[in-house]
Amino acid sequence: MLPDEELGEEKGHACHEVSPQTTPEVEMLDAYSRAVIAVVDAVGPAVVSLFTSGNPSHGGVEQQGAGSGVILAPDGYLLTNSHVVGKSKQLRTVFTSGQKTTAAVVGRDPDTDLAVLRAEATALPYATLGDSSQLRVGQLVIAMGNPLGFESTVSTGVISALGRTFRSQNGRLIENVIQHTAPLNPGNSGGPLLDSRGRVIGINTAIIAAAQGIGFAIPANTAKWVVSHLIRHGRVKRSYLGIHARDRKLDRRLARLHRLEQETAAEIMMVDPQGPASKAGLKEGDLVVAIDEKPLFSVDDLQRSLAEHKPGIAVRLMFIRRLELLNVMIEPVEAN
């Protein structure tokens, strides 16, 4: 029997040890890995596990659910999904350090599937809400949460679309949603979607069970004004116009024609036949560019303006229909 060395030489093969190769592709992958690791190290301690309890089942066993959340302030305020909280009487928060505490519901907003809780703890690590208006399709994103009960799970992907809409559990459309490819599973709900700098750009809210690689997140800019209202009032007080809209890029020639400041507007996708907008004559396809003389740059701007506006007091909407710039007065009602 020949030694291995001689056997290799006899067959005409040079024997050598397999070793890692340094190539531009490998270096790019290393940079990608370092970016993800840095985000996980920085933001991971601010991501929490949530366990909710409901009424006992018919067998007398208390039903439990699990979700995720992200701490927004050192004094215990944290953000999650409204559907994670549900109508639970008790919530338990488990931090990555292993610390456990209870959390009280500060407020819920089913219309955006967001909720604010306050954990009974202080001096907590916390994350920062970024500017979701700057997001681009193809951008790297990182999802963190507790899918299927596995704590501190990380997945990555890219933004695959912006301005999506889907229906919340109460049947209302959630607008301007981020669609991404970071894998999600039950339990990821309420966890943060992060950019490569570790800023929270969205709150993961749902998956389509029949599809693979499709996840959704409520954008951070929506979360900012929802959080402020929930902390102040325990709910979001909205004026209701009876429209559903999405962000739409304006044709530059159209913007120049009407001397508009912005590059985007809120395109009306659906009009409630019984709502104030329908009575005022607004139609699908209209591009809303201003409210009470203030330019609208996105659906978030429209929602924010309505949240700050008292129902029953008329507002002036400026909109484009085909090539014509029009104005209309609408008296919003209070949203249910």
By annotation, the residues acting in catalysis are: 83, 113, 189
Q: For 240-250, give one letter per residue: b (16+ CB within 10 A) or e.
A: bbbbbbbbbeb
Rg, C-alpha atoms of the chain: 25
Q: How far apart are CA 109 and CA 172, in angstroms?
A: 11
Residue 154 near residue 143, CB atoms below 8 Å: yes
Residue tagged 């933004």 (tokens): 159
Give Cβ neighbours of residue 333 (< 8 Å, ≥ 6 apart): 239, 240, 275, 276, 311, 312
299-307 helix and 220-233 helix, angle to the nearest 10 degrees? 10
Q: How far apart are CA 153 and CA 145, in angstroms?
A: 6
Residue tagged 């959390």 (tokens): 103
Q: How many CB atoms lie within 10 A of CB 311?
A: 15
Apex 283 CA angle, 280 and 289, nearest 5: 85
Concatenate the DSSP letters of all residues of 284-297 into one string: TT-EEEEETTEE--
Residue 212 near residue 206, CB atoms below 8 Å: no
Give Cβ neighbours of residue 335 (< 8 Å, ≥ 6 apart): 111, 238, 239, 240
